[in-house]
Structure 1
């Protein structure tokens, strides 16, 4: 009996001990670590050149199709500007206008008996307009100029014994006494030129019409007394021709050299109060000019 009691008591102790152990295990969380072994295998590709016969291969035509239409506004505007600039460069300028000025020398045989006659020096200022025909190389230019010519010789009856000194008589026999004459005068000219442009060189030829305002002074009668000084002036238009060359030194600036010649046929000096001709009928005087000028293009290029 005693032995049996001992066995039961020992069994009881083991049972209680096991119960407490299980109770404490339930309150603790165990961490489990799982390790995975990863093995990476490299793939090696071996390229081998293949030989094909060209005649045996037929490749289909490749077509590129946009799946989305995109408009680039900046690029589109830039292309428009470039196209407009190219169009302006290709399109020749057919109409131009500008101003010109220069200096020149003129010789005239007004006084063949005067051995001291010298070429006149003068200045000019004008406007011009040109129009191209057929192509940009051939053009027609119209110009209007005003010249001022300084005197190259003077005849003064009060100072010298000139070949024009003396009395003259009008158609109604009124006396006139020569006083003075010089060739200082204004000239008004219109000109039509044909110009051919090759690179920067522009040769031209043209026709012109001009009017010179020469004056000669006489002492005329007033109340039957010869005591009034009055002017006798030219009043006719003369025709001539011109030849010259222009050179474009800058985009808007042209330099020119020009020769002009015209005849003054049946020249006469008129006064509204007196019917008088100092020159013989059917007379002709030739004038020749050399001008050097510079032109500026005002219009758009």
Structure 2
């Protein structure tokens, strides 16, 4: 019995350290460091400096040149920030100009008219460097001469007759007029400069005044107006002085073909057919971008 007790005692001494080592091996997971990654949502653009936060840098889609940063818009999403380039932009423009016309070359030595204009435009980017624009303008041109039969003799003085033989007596005429124009332009972006070429359609509303018959008596003043549609081209350049503010210099040229002065009550044309008048103008303007999308 004593030997058995001794054997069991030594057997216990041997197995006990082994069992202790196995227990220590099982508890090694207590010291394992567990890292939990969570999703971060950006609700507002905050000026913060992240500390011990690891994330994948955002990828910018549709990058644009530095000079076009005003066309960038930010969109918050659950996956991060998406930067998009604005495709459309609209604004307003105003300016002053000079017009050279051979309309009244026999009546005035001063052939350059001064005037001013205002308009609106919408633009769309079609590539990294190119964009197109559609604009609508209204021009007001001052007079360079004044023909008034009541004050002095003019080369238009006298009686005229309609096709149904009604008499008309010339009264007044000058080249002060309104002009309405639509333009389509193609722009090229180069640093702060935007050279362009364009196609234009316009209408000049000239007026001539006659004494017309009323109840067979020549005692009523009435206007005869031009309403022809003219076609031409334009060249120019814009310079960006601020992100939304541009200066523009533009040259336009077109021809007024078969111009006539009409009145809805009288079938009459003081000018001969197949006449053509050339007009050229240069203008300096300032353009402001209101918004875009």
Q: Which residue of 2 aligns with 1:109?
A: 102
Distance of 1:145 and 1:259 partners within structure 2:
14
Q: 1:242 aligns with which of 234, 239, 251?
A: 234
Q: 1:211 aligns with which of 178, 200, 203?
A: 203
**Deviation for aligned residue 1:89:** 5.3
Distance of 1:172 and 1:298 partners within structure 2:
54
For normalisation by structure 2, the TM-score amounts to 0.74
Distance of 1:216 and 1:195 partners within structure 2:
39
Q: Which runs of 5+ in 2 are unaligned?
A: 1-31, 41-47, 65-83
The correspondence of residues 65-76 of structure 1 with structure 2, limited to 5 A, is: 67-71=34-38, 73=40, 75=50
Distance of 1:93 and 1:197 partners within structure 2:
15
**Deviation for aligned residue 1:247:** 0.5
**Deviation for aligned residue 1:184:** 1.3
> Which 4+ stretches in 1 moved above 6 angstroms?
none
Q: Which residue of 1 aligns with 2:152?
A: 160
Q: 2:280 aligns with which of 260, 274, 288?
A: 288
Cα RMSD (Å) of the superposition?
2.4
Q: Which residue of 1 aligns with 2:291?
A: 299
Instruction: Render the CA deviation track for 1:16-42: whole Å, top value 9, x for unaligned.
Output: xxxxxxxxxxxxxxxxxxxxxxxxxxx
For normalisation by structure 1, the TM-score amounts to 0.72
Q: How many residues matched?
A: 233
Q: 2:167 aligns with which of 161, 170, 175?
A: 175
The correspondence of residues 115-130 of structure 1 with structure 2, limited to 5 A, is: 115-130=108-123
- What SS is found at the alignment partner of 2:291? coil
Q: 1:144 aligns with which of 124, 133, 136?
A: 136
Instruction: Render the CA deviation track for 1:242-275: whole Å, top value 9, x for unaligned.
Output: 0001011111101000001111100000011111
- What SS is found at the alignment partner of 1:195? strand
- What SS is found at the alignment partner of 2:242? coil
Q: Is the 8 A contact 1:154 1:181 kept in 2?
A: yes
Distance of 2:187 and 2:208 partners within structure 1:
39
Question: Is residue 2:214 matched to residue 1:222?
Answer: yes
Distance of 2:212 and 2:162 partners within structure 1:
10
The structure that is strand-richer by fraction is: 2
Q: Is the 8 A contact 1:93 1:136 kept in 2?
A: no
Q: Which runs of 5+ in 1 are unaligned?
A: 1-64
